[in-house]
Amino acid sequence: MHLFSAMFLLVMLAVMPCEALYPSPEEGWQIYSSAQDADGKCICTVVAPAQNMCNRDPRSRQLRQLMEKVQNISQSMEVLDLRTYRDLQYVRNTESLMKVVDGKLKVASDNPRSLNPKGFQEIKDKVSQLLPLLPVLDQYKMDAKMILHLREEVRNLSLVLMAIQEEMGAYDYEELRQRVLLLETRLHSCMQKLGCGKLTGVSNPITVRASGSRFGSWMTDTMIPSSDNRVWSMDGYYKGRRVLEYRTMNDFMKGQNFVQHLLPHPWAGTGHVVYNGSLYYNKYQSNIIIKYHFRSRSVLVQRSLSGAGYNNTFPYSWGGSSDIDLMADENGLWAVYTTIPNAGNIVISRLEPMSLEVLQTWDTGFPKRSAGESFMICGTLYVTNSHLAGAKIYFAYYTNTSSYEYTDIPFHNQYSHISMMDYNPRERVLYTWNNGHQVLYNVTLFQVIKTSGD
């Protein structure tokens, strides 16, 4: 049976994390376990690769190395230019002094008898003022050697480029690379459309960084679509106000290129989320949700989550003032909490992001103190049974049908104490804070996708 002649395509979509965090960059777009079920439907597993597969081409690596060398040479030339300009200014400033010394030496040479002790001392003083020119001239000598070295580097670069050109022959490598990138963009676009499904598996953990205290949270923007690559980190769960904003994931991994936001109100717990450029968090010792806009560094709105417990009234099993957990998925912004009328069972509310108004609420019937953490995927709340080693995803509540089921989805709790676990629908990974380690998990979703033309 032809793959696309089927009315429905059942896909297990194993989603990999972004950019350099792919655990197996050698894998490309691949389909595994192609088969038919009893009804004749096609069943397969799709694995999405890292972007820019062409980067694995040896010639691409050579070109990247050449680019780095060219950049280094450019930087060296800039340094030489600045230093030469500075030294030239110094030489120009001493030009008048040199003329004075030259004039006095000529007078002394033409009429030696005119050189008395006082005149000799004056010439000696003027010459001593010219002594700082010696290291400048020495620097000129060193710079001349560097220019020779740079010239040799440029010559070597030209030879390597010629070799690559001969190897590539008549093919336009850049054009081919752009065509492959376009294809990958279309495939990733397709992957976005195939986003929603039922969680069936969680990958092994990918440790991104070890930083901060035992408890905390970290995140990227969960809004779809978004080109925002910033990463935010919030250390601790008690009365914190400092949010670190990193420019990219690589900067976060290296602990560099960050700015600090000082929130006007302290936070409680670790259930924060960034959605469309704003941070949503629970205000300390209250059930108030605050929307803080990063670019304007201001609070746009705050609203009380009516009846929600706070200050360790109904936390997760690990405590930590985790009464109110804010999260986002493909369907928008959510709050997970509980109330006294709900007898401590988990309540889910979908929030309007602009006003924080509660749009709809569900009572899951699952006791929050028995949950280690929870996260939303495609309108389904998944709950772990512990925050310690041996934890698994134990419970799922489907808001589209107001129904639930008990699940058995294991995952490796590598550092034995998870205090934050959130799904990012844009990247389709789980972000966790595990005993001072920032960790990612890939997820596998089971879906039924209708093919075009049916």
pLDDT (tens digit per residue) in 212-241: 999 999 999 998 777 788 999 999 998 999
Q: Which residue has the higher pLDDT, 426 or 325?
A: 325
Domain end, chosen from 120, 135, 170, is at: 170
Same domain as 94, residue 205: no
Q: Is residue 52 part of a domain?
A: no
Q: Domain span at residue 70?
A: 59-170
Same domain as 217, residue 345: yes
pLDDT-derived band of residue 34, with 50, 70 and 90 as boundaries?
very low
For the chain, percent of residues with pLDDT exceeding 70? 64
pLDDT per residue over 41-78, tens digit each?
Answer: 544 555 544 444 444 456 566 666 766 766 666 666 66
**What is the number of domains present in the chain?**
2
Same domain as 159, residue 209: no
Same domain as 162, residue 220: no
CATH number at residue 378: 2.120.10
Domain end, chosen from 154, 170, 186, is at: 170
Same domain as 365, residue 274: yes
pLDDT score recorded for residue 53: 44
Domain end, chosen from 170, 203, 231, is at: 170
Alpha-carbon gap, residue 347 to 360, rounded angstroms? 11
Does pLDDT of 329 surpass 60?
A: yes
Same domain as 207, residue 156: no
Same domain as 360, residue 228: yes
Q: State how far the alpha carbon of 396 is from the alpha carbons of 211, 239, 318, 406, 454, in Å.
A: 31, 31, 20, 6, 32
Residue among 29, 36, 1, 34 at smallest CA distance from 14: 29
Q: Is residue 10 part of a domain?
A: no
Q: Is residue 36 part of a domain?
A: no
Residue among 237, 270, 193, 218 at smallest CA distance from 451: 193
Let me know: does 439 contact 207? Beta carbons within 8 Å.
yes
> Where are the alpha helices (H) located in 30-132, listed in sequence order?
58-93, 95-110, 117-130
Angle in degrees, CA 79, 83, 86, rounded to 5: 145
For the ranges 107-116, 320-329, 333-342, 363-372, the lowest mean pLDDT is seen at 107-116
Does pLDDT of 394 surpass 90?
A: yes
For the ranges 48-57, 151-160, 405-414, the lowest mean pLDDT is seen at 48-57
pLDDT-derived band of residue 158, with 50, 70 and 90 as boundaries?
low
Alpha-carbon gap, residue 336 to 308, rounded angstroms? 9
pLDDT score recorded for residue 18: 36
Same domain as 203, residue 89: no
pLDDT score recorded for residue 427: 86
Torsional class of 129: left (φ above 0), alpha (ψ -120 to 50), beta (otherwise): alpha
pLDDT per residue over 251-279, tens digit each?
Answer: 999 999 999 999 999 999 999 999 999 99
Does pLDDT of 437 surpass 80?
A: yes
DSSP string, 207-223: EEEE-S-SSEEEEE---
Averaged pLDDT for residues 140-165: 69
